[in-house]
Amino acid sequence: MTVSIRPIGARDKDEWLKLCNGPDSYLEFYKAMDVVSDETAQTMFACFLEEKEPVYACVAVNADGKLIGLATYLTYRNTWNVKDSLYLNDPFVYPKCRLGDADKFGCGKTYWNTQFQNHRAQSLYCKVAKKSGFLLYIRPQ
């Protein structure tokens, strides 16, 4: 399957929303369909198109021009490296389409996280990266 990765564009909105919260979507995969409102999804999409927003999005496109995957990311300074770091967030590909565009930013490191139960993704991630040894904790609001 020929796949290309490109920045998200305004023309991608309808397909991106399906990837985000439609059948076989990102939110369905994580059993979070009731967590992210339509307003939040619409607002985030608008943010991706704003040049001054600190969060970016890219999409994976198949040979037919259909969106089959998405990811969000941000770059930021940190206290451990002179170069910026890139944080990859929300990487998702439609299940039927699964099986190093980050290098173009010249960042010192790239990292991401996934759920403990997402063993399929972890088997891929272990081929291209190593586990950090850190656990993520989130304080409830």
**Structural domains in the chain (count):** 1
Beta strand segments in 27-66, E: 56-62
Query: Which pLDDT belongs to residue 81?
Result: 86
**73 pLDDT exceeds 90?**
yes
SS3 46: helix
Query: Which pLDDT belongs to residue 78?
Result: 87
Is 13 within the bounds of a domain? yes
Query: Which pLDDT belongs to residue 111?
Result: 83
SS3 123: helix
Query: Which pLDDT belongs to residue 98?
Result: 74
- pLDDT tens, residue by residue, 9-64: 999 999 999 999 999 999 998 889 999 999 999 999 999 999 999 899 999 999 99
Contact predicate 92/26, CB 8 Å? yes
User: Of residues 96 and 1, which shows the higher confidence score?
Assistant: 96
Indicate which CATH number applies to the domain containing 31: 3.40.630.30
- Expressed in angstroms, the distance from the first to the final Cα of the chain is 43
Is 123 within the bounds of a domain? yes
Q: What letter represents residue 3's amino acid?
A: V
At residue 24, φ and ψ (nearest 5 deg) are 60, 30
Nearest to 63 by CA among 103, 97, 99: 97
Task: Tell me the Ramachandran region of residue 13: left when phi exceeds 0, alpha when psi lies from -120 to 50, beta otherwise.
Answer: alpha
Is 136 within the bounds of a domain? no
Which pTM was predicted? 0.74
